[in-house]
Amino acid sequence: MNNQVRCYHCGLEVLSGVRLGVKVLGESRAMCCLGCQAVAESIVENGLEDYYQHRTELPQTPEDLIPSELKQLALYDHPEVQKSFLFGAQGTEQDGHIKEAVLIIEGITCAACIWLNERHLKQLVGIQSVAFNYGSHRVRIHWDEQHIKLSQILAEIRKLGYHAHPFSAQQQDFLRAQQRKSNIKRLAVAGLSAAQAMMMAVALYAGAAQGLEYANAQMLRWFSLVLTIPAVTYCAWPFYRAAWNGLVNRQLGMDVPISLGILAGFIGSAIATVRGDGMVYFDTITMLICFLLGTRYLERGARDKSIESAENLLRLSPSIATRVTDGQYLLTPVVELQLGDHILVKPGETIAADGVIVEGATSVDESLLTGESRALAKTTGDDVFAGSINYESPVTVAVTALADNSMLASISRLLDRAQAEKPPLAETADRVAAYFTTALLIIVFFVALFWWQQAPNKVFEIVLTVLVVSCPCALSLAAPAAFAAAGSHLVGRGVLLTRGHALESLANVNHVVFDKTGTLTLGKPILIDTITYGSLSAAECLKIAASLEQASEHPIAKSFILAMARQPLYQVETHQNIAGQGVAGVIADRAYRLGNEQLHGLPTPIVQCPPSASVVWLSNETTLLAAFVLSDQARPHVQALVRDLATQQITTSILSGDAAPTVAHFAQSVEISQWQAGLSPEQKLRQIRALQQQGATVLMVGDGINDAPVLAGANVSIAMGSGTQLARATGDVVLLSEQVSEIEHAIKTSKFTMQVIRQNFIWAIAYNLFALPFAAIGLISPWMAAIGMSVSSLIVVLNALRIKTYLAD
C-alpha cells in the first residue's frame, strides 16, 4: 500500500490524484507538477533525453514560469540594462549584431545539468558559442541579435528548470580597467587646467600689486575662465553624478558639498568675469578638482586590488589537462575530467584539478592559494590542489574534486561573499558623513544669512570657503581604504576574511577558545591499537566500526576507513550522527554505537594508552565490544601562538568533546591552563555564552566541519580551512595557511587597521571642526580651503596604505 510514485524528473513524491506524465526514453513517466512536466517535455522535444541517463543527482523542482517573470526577462533586452553586463563585442572584429555576455546559472546539481544547458543552448538558432565555467556555474555566450534575443535565451534556460541571469563581475573587471583609464585622463586634464589657472592667478595677484591695466587683467580672467571649463565639466562630472545619485536615493554624501562648492565657485567667478568686477576663484576650483581626483584615484587603487584578487584566483586554473588512460596521454579539457581520472602534471605546469598523487614525488608551490611561499614536498598519497604549480618532477594525480568543488572555487566564492558585505564600521562612517553633510548645509545657510547682513560683498567668498573646507571627504575615505588594504594583505598570507565584520571583530578579541581535534591536532588520527571485550574478533570489530563511520565526516571516521584499506564494508541501516559523541547504526538487525564514553551509558574500563591518544568505544545494545586507540599529532607552533596571544593580553582556553586525560595532555603541551573535556556541541556553545556574559569577546578557532554552531555562537570565528576541508568550512575567517601563527598576525593586523581607522576618524573630525569656524568668520581664503580639504583627505588615504608596508615584516 505504501507504493509511492516518485516524479521522474525531480524525484518528489507524486501526490495521489495527480495524473501527469511525459513519455521519456520510450516509457510514460509520472510527473509531480506542471513545472516538471513542462521541463521534461521540453527536454524530450529537444532530443536531450540522454540527460536522464547521465544525471547523478536529481534537479530542483522547477517553478512554473509565470507571465510576469517573462516580462522581467524582457527587461534584459533593453540597451540601457544591457550596458551593465554586456561585453564590448562591438569593439571586436564581429559586426554589431553579435553580443557577448556571461550568465550565471542557478540550480545546477550535477554535471548532467551543465550538459543539458549546453546542448540546449547550442541548438538554438542565433547562438554562436557557449562556453561553460564549471567552477563558477557561469556560461559565456555569443549570440546574434538578429536571430535571438537575450530574454529568449534566458527563457529557454527557464524552460529546462534553471534560473539564469547575466553576471557582471567579469564585466566589472573590464569596467574597472576602463574606469581607471578615464580617471587618469580626468586627473591629467584637471592637473593641466589647475597649473594654467594658477599661473594666471599669480599674474593677477602680482599684477594687482603693480597696477596691472584693467584690460590686461580682464583678459587674464577670460583666459582662466576658458581654461577652467574642461575641469568643471569633464573632470568634475563624477562628483555631480555621485551627488545626484545620492540625492535621488536620499543620501547626502560628501559629493553634494563638493559639487555645490565647485559649481558655486565657477558660476560666481564667471559672473565676476563677465561683469569685469569682483574676485575670481578659477585657480581654487581647478586645484580642488585635481586634488580630489588624485585622492580618489589612490583610494580606488587599493580597493580594486582587493576585489581583483578574488577574480584572479579563478583564472589561475588551466583549462586543459593531460589525461592518462591505459598508458596513453590525451589532452583533455578540464571540464571533461571525471572523478578518479588520472592526469599527468609536468614540472612547471599548473595543476588542473584537486587530487591525490598516485605516482611520483615532487615539490609544489601553493603560495597563491595559501600564502605559503616555501615549496612543499609532495609524494604519493598527498593532496594537491588546482591552481598550485608543480616545481620539480612529473607526477600523476588522481582527480578527487571537480572544478566547482575545488579549493580554488571555494576560495573564490568566499571572497565574493566577503566583498558583498560592507564592514559595519564603514557603514557607520557613511551615516556619520551624511549627518555631517546635513549639518554643514544648515550651517552654510546661517553663515550666508549672517554675512548677507554684515558684509554682502563677502558672502560669496565665505560660503565657498566653508563648503570647500569642511566637506567630509576624509571621513568617508577613512574606513574603506583601510579595510581594503588590510584584506588584501591578509589574503596574501593565507588568511581569508569571509565576512564583512570579521576584521572589526578580531580587533576586540580578548579570549580565544580552541577546539581540540583538527585544531590543536592535525586531525589525522591513526588507529594504533584495538582492545576487544566480547566474543567478536578485533578485525570484526574494526569492520563494524569502519562501516558505521562510512557516512561521517569526522577526522576519526577517516582513520577507520583508512585502517580498513578499501576492504568491503557492511551495509548500515538507520545511520545516525551524534555530533560531538559519535555514530550509531544497525548492521544485520543489530544496533551498534561507536564513540566516546557519554555515548554508551555503559561503564568503560581503563585503557592503557599514550597520553596523546584518544579512545573510542564500540558497543552493541548490551555490552562493550571494543576500545580503539587513536593517536593524533599536535599541530606545530600552537604553543608559540598561545604565548604570543598572552603578550597581547588575550586569554586562551580549550573546549573539547574528547576525554579528560587526552585534553589535559594537549592543554599542557601547548601551555593552556583553562580547559574542559567531554563537552557536547551544545555545552561548548553554553560555555561560550557564559564567557561572553562575563564580558569576554570570544574568538573560536575550530576545524569548521563539525562545530559550525559553536563557531557561529562566538563573536568571531576562525575555521581551519586547509586542504580539502575548505569547501564545507564555516567561519568568519578561514585559515588557508598551515601556519597557526597567522592567527596572531590576523589579530595584530585587525588591531592596527582599527588604529589607523581611528586615527583617520579623529583626524577627519578634528580637521573639520577646526577649519569650519575659521572659514565661517572669514579668516581662510578659498584656495587655502581647497588645499586644506585635499590634504586632509590625502593624509587619510596615505595613512591607510601604510597598513601594507607596516605589517609586511
Just list the catalytic residues: 515
Q: Which three cell numbers stand for residue 743?
A: 592567527
Nearer to Mg ion, 399 or 700 (CB): 700
- Using the 8-state DSSP alphabet, how is residue 92 labeled? S
Do residues 619 and 600 touch, judged by C-beta distance below 8 A? yes
Question: Minimum distance from CB of 407 to ligand ADP (Å)?
Answer: 22
595 binds, among ligand ADP, Mg ion, none (CB under 5 to 8 A by kind): ligand ADP
388 binds, among ligand ADP, Mg ion, none (CB under 5 to 8 A by kind): none
The answer to whether 476 contacts Mg ion (rule: CB under 5 A) is no
Q: Helical H runs in 527-670?
A: 538-549, 555-564, 597-600, 638-647, 660-669
The answer to whether 517 contacts Mg ion (rule: CB under 5 A) is yes
Round to whole Å and give the CA distance between 136 and 545: 38
Q: Which residue, 73, 162, 175, 74, is CA-closest to 117?
A: 162
Round to whole Å and give the CA distance between 552 and 15: 33
Question: Minimum distance from CB of 128 to ligand ADP (Å)?
Answer: 52
Q: Which residue, 360, 381, 406, is CA-closest to 136?
A: 406
Question: Minimum distance from CB of 123 to Mg ion (Å)?
Answer: 50
- Using the 8-state DSSP alphabet, how is residue 63 labeled? P
Nearer to Mg ion, 308 or 597 (CB): 597
792 binds, among ligand ADP, Mg ion, none (CB under 5 to 8 A by kind): none
Residue labelled with grid coordinates 547562438: 127
Nearer to ligand ADP, 269 or 619 (CB): 619
Round to whole Å and give the CA distance between 488 and 550: 39
Question: Minimum distance from CB of 579 to ligand ADP (Å)?
Answer: 7
355 binds, among ligand ADP, Mg ion, none (CB under 5 to 8 A by kind): none
Q: Which three cell numbers stand for residue 459?
A: 558672502
Buried b (16+ CB within 10 A) or exposed e, 658-688: bbeebbeebbeebebeebbbbbebeebbebb
Nearer to ligand ADP, 500 or 595 (CB): 595
Nearer to ligand ADP, 152 or 596 (CB): 596
Amino acid, res. 234:
Y
Do residues 242 and 425 touch, judged by C-beta distance below 8 A? no
Question: Minimum distance from CB of 578 to Mg ion (Å)?
Answer: 14
**In the complex, residue closest to ligand ADP by CB:** 657
Nearer to Mg ion, 476 or 519 (CB): 519
Tally of helices (H runs) and strands (E runs) in the chain: 26, 28
Q: Which residue, 283, 271, 669, 746, is CA-closest to 498?
A: 746
Question: Minimum distance from CB of 700 to Mg ion (Å)?
Answer: 11
CA geometry: angle 372, 375, 381, nearest 5 deg: 100
343 binds, among Mg ion, ligand ADP, none (CB under 5 to 8 A by kind): none
Centroid of chain to Cα 700: 20
582 binds, among ligand ADP, Mg ion, none (CB under 5 to 8 A by kind): ligand ADP
Nearer to ligand ADP, 135 or 580 (CB): 580
The answer to whether 515 contacts Mg ion (rule: CB under 5 A) is yes
Question: Minimum distance from CB of 617 to ligand ADP (Å)?
Answer: 8
Stretch that binds Mg ion, among 177-185, 348-356, 512-520, 760-768 (CB under 5 A): 512-520
Do residues 352 and 330 touch, judged by C-beta distance below 8 A? no
Do residues 343 and 325 touch, judged by C-beta distance below 8 A? no
Question: Minimum distance from CB of 90 to ligand ADP (Å)?
Answer: 57
Nearer to ligand ADP, 113 or 563 (CB): 563
Nearer to ligand ADP, 156 or 515 (CB): 515
Q: Which residue, 485, 505, 487, 504, is CA-closest to 496?
A: 487
Q: Is 149 helix (H, G, I), strand (E, B) or coil?
A: coil
Q: Which residue, 474, 404, 392, 399, is CA-closest to 433?
A: 474
Q: Which residues bind ligand ADP (CB under 6 A)?
A: 515-517, 549, 552, 554, 556-557, 580-583, 594-596, 614, 616, 656-658, 706
CA geometry: angle 80, 82, 84, nearest 5 deg: 90
Question: Minimum distance from CB of 595 to ligand ADP (Å)?
Answer: 4
Stretch that binds Mg ion, among 139-147, 507-515, 601-609, 677-685 (CB under 5 A): 507-515
656 binds, among ligand ADP, Mg ion, none (CB under 5 to 8 A by kind): ligand ADP
Q: Where are the beta strands (DSSP E) in 662-771?
A: 674-676, 698-702, 716-720, 733-735
Looking at the DSSP bridge assignments, the partners of residue 529 are: 629
Stretch that binds Mg ion, among 241-249, 316-324, 509-517, 624-632 (CB under 5 A): 509-517
Angle between helices 214-230 and 169-210 (to 10 degrees): 170
Nearer to ligand ADP, 167 or 514 (CB): 514
Q: Which three cell numbers stand for residue 211?
A: 597696477
Question: Minimum distance from CB of 554 to Mg ion (Å)?
Answer: 8
Looking at the DSSP bridge assignments, the partners of residue 654 are: 514, 675
Nearer to ligand ADP, 573 or 682 (CB): 682
Nearer to ligand ADP, 386 or 729 (CB): 729
596 binds, among ligand ADP, Mg ion, none (CB under 5 to 8 A by kind): ligand ADP
Q: Which three cell numbers stand for residue 747?
A: 589579530
Q: How many CB atoms lie within 10 A of CB 110?
A: 14
Residue labelled with grid coordinates 595677484: 205
- For the CA atoms of the chain, what is the radius of gyration? 33
Question: Minimum distance from CB of 394 to Mg ion (Å)?
Answer: 37
Q: Where are the beta strands (DSSP E) in 730-770?
A: 733-735
552 binds, among Mg ion, ligand ADP, none (CB under 5 to 8 A by kind): ligand ADP
581 binds, among Mg ion, ligand ADP, none (CB under 5 to 8 A by kind): ligand ADP
Residue labelled with grid coordinates 614540472: 347
Q: Which three cell numbers stand for residue 72?
A: 522581467
Q: Is 55 helix (H, G, I), strand (E, B) or coil?
A: coil
Question: Minimum distance from CB of 10 to Mg ion (Å)?
Answer: 35
554 binds, among Mg ion, ligand ADP, none (CB under 5 to 8 A by kind): ligand ADP
Stretch that binds Mg ion, among 409-417, 500-508, 511-519, 616-624 (CB under 5 A): 511-519
Do residues 795 and 299 touch, judged by C-beta distance below 8 A? no
Q: Where are the beta strands (DSSP E) in 596-722?
A: 613-619, 624-631, 651-655, 674-676, 698-702, 716-720
Question: Minimum distance from CB of 600 to ligand ADP (Å)?
Answer: 11
Nearer to ligand ADP, 433 or 667 (CB): 667
700 binds, among Mg ion, ligand ADP, none (CB under 5 to 8 A by kind): none
The answer to whether 559 contacts Mg ion (rule: CB under 5 A) is no
557 binds, among ligand ADP, Mg ion, none (CB under 5 to 8 A by kind): ligand ADP
Tell which phi-psi region holds residue 675, choosing left (phi > 0), alpha (psi between -120 and 50) or beta. Answer: beta
Residue ranges binding Mg ion (CB under 5 A): 515, 517
